[in-house]
Chains A and B, each alone.
Chain A
Amino acid sequence: MVLSNEDELKQKIQDGYIVESREEMTEGYRKALIVQLTVQADTELMSAPAYWMAARHAPSTNTQVSAHAIIQDELAHANIAYRLLEDIGESKEQLVYGRQPHEFKHPYGFDQPLDNWADLVVANGFFDRAGITLLSDVYQNTSYGPLKRALVKVDMEETFHLRHGEVWMRRLAKAGGEAKEIVQCSVDWMFPMTIEWFGLPDDLKRHSGQLDYKLKGLSNDELRQVWMSSTVPLCEELGLNVPAHFDSETEEYVLDYPFPCEYDTADKRWVFEDGESTWDTVFKRWKGRGPMNEIYVESIQRSRRDVGGWLAEKRQAY
């Protein structure tokens, strides 16, 4: 069955229709799905070098194992998302190995260095929770059948990453002293980093079609609230300060700092004292990419050409 009419497809989807193949998509649907899956795939992929370099700070062989198990999961999730892209006409080879570092679509948070064990476990606690928040919403609402099925494994494993983050945040925070101070340092830069990850506030958001096509269910601000509704109480319980609180009148979480805000990469700190920035400035910063962008992408791409070349030579020799 070929549907050519965007409105017709949107209506069917709103009535519960599940898309199963590229042939059933309109060009608008396919494009919106490509954007969503590219962000998803690139995010999973770039988390791997970020976590991998941080895993060097693991305090024991067992923690090395759990850190690397998480990296393995992330690479598998990336592979799944790139395969879904390939099934709708994109090239994984081009996406993973053919792009320049700044062309990847992952959030700015995965352009940052994770400098110690606390950075890694708070990344598990914050970034992976952002991943679950976004992907659970996709799982519950997506109109694309292959993606819904693929997310069963992904959600299961992301929950493990989050638990790893929470257990370690709790252990370090409860220890007090220097252990707690260093977790607080990680929280200080990663909390606003994750808040920003969810993107433009709803009142500024341009219409993307992702809701019409039911590629997601919740808006950016709703997703930000979901993330805060578990992150803020966790940090409060652990005695960690976060720049947000629950407003019992509006029954919403409210940020206690200027949002959006600018980030000083050299000092790894948010420049709250400069006041509210603009989203244009934020988009420019995102597009310029962060300090680890080229290093992370290079670590993924570096051997593809060499090993591919060796194998090609071998084929010719036969």
Chain B
Amino acid sequence: MIERVYDVFARKHRGDQLAHIGYVDALDDEMARVYAWKTYDEENWFEMCVIRRSNIIPVNRQDGPFSGSKGEGE
């Protein structure tokens, strides 16, 4: 079962910064949405979105989890 890593972003209130709050592993985008909403239920988020980690393009750093194709983990 090849699951992709998705990073989860959310903001609590209108006017808040959208912040990285976590990650889920999912087989596809639809499941990633469900997992994110159900997993990160500690707040009543005003907005939440997920992005495939492999689609994040690093700008100034070559290290860390967003630095390459490492998001295609199992």
Q: B1 contacts A23, CB within 8 Å?
A: no
Inter-chain CA distance A187–B64, complex, in Å, is 44
Q: B65 contacts A21, CB within 8 Å?
A: yes
Q: A86-B73, A91-B74, A311-B1 are in contact. Are A153 and B24 (CB under 8 A)?
A: no
Residues of A within 8 A of B22 (CB): 80, 150, 153
Q: Mark B16-49, 1 if CB is under 8 A from A, else 0.
A: 0000111111000000000000111010000000
Q: A87 contacts B1, CB within 8 Å?
A: no
Q: A21-B64, A80-B22, A153-B21 are in contact. Are A307 and B42 (CB under 8 A)?
A: no
Contact residues of A between 42 and 81, Cβ < 8 Å to B: 72, 76, 79-80
Q: B73 contacts A92, CB within 8 Å?
A: yes
Among B38, B42, B65, which residue has its beta carbon within 8 angstroms of that of A157?
A: B42
B50 within 8 A of A: no
| Interface of chain A, main secondary structure | helix
Q: A83-B5, A311-B1 are in contact. Are A76 and B39 (CB under 8 A)?
A: yes
Q: How many Å from the CB of A73 to the closest CB on chain B? A: 8
Q: Mark A295-318, 1 if CB is under 8 A from B, else 0.
A: 000000000100110010000000
Inter-chain CA distance A41–B66, complex, in Å, is 22
Inter-chain CA distance A313–B5, complex, in Å, is 23
Q: B74 contacts A21, CB within 8 Å?
A: no
- Using a Cβ cutoff of 8 Å, how many contacts connect chains A and B? 47
Q: B63 contacts A22, CB within 8 Å?
A: yes
Q: B39 contacts A79, CB within 8 Å?
A: yes
Q: A76-B39, A153-B42 are in contact. Are A83 and B25 (CB under 8 A)?
A: yes
Q: How many Å from the CB of A83 to the closest CB on chain B? A: 5
Q: How many Å from the CB of A271 to the closest CB on chain B? A: 41
Q: How many Å from the CB of A235 to the closest CB on chain B? A: 29
Q: How many Å from the CB of B71 to the closest CB on chain A? A: 10
Q: How many Å from the CB of B36 to the closest CB on chain A? A: 10
Residues of A within 8 A of B5 (CB): 83, 86
Q: How many Å from the CB of A262 to the closest CB on chain B? A: 40
Contact residues of A between 111 and 145, Cβ < 8 Å to B: none
Q: B64 contacts A23, CB within 8 Å?
A: yes
Q: A92-B73, A153-B42 are in contact. Are A24 and B25 (CB under 8 A)?
A: no
Q: A87 contacts B65, CB within 8 Å?
A: yes
Q: How many Å from the CB of A133 to the closest CB on chain B? A: 20
Inter-chain CA distance A87–B1, complex, in Å, is 19
Residues of A within 8 A of B1 (CB): 304, 307-308, 311
Inter-chain CA distance A72–B34, complex, in Å, is 14
Please give me the residue from chain A that is nearest to B27 by CB atom: A311
Inter-chain CA distance A119–B20, complex, in Å, is 37
Q: Mark A87-105, 1 if CB is under 8 A from B, else 0.
A: 1000111000000000000
Chain B: residues with CB nearer than 8 A to chain A?
1, 5, 20-25, 38-40, 42, 61-65, 67, 70, 73-74
Can you give 15 A-B contacts (C-beta < 8 A)?
A21-B61, A21-B64, A21-B65, A22-B63, A23-B63, A79-B39, A83-B23, A83-B25, A86-B73, A87-B65, A87-B70, A92-B25, A93-B74, A153-B21, A307-B1
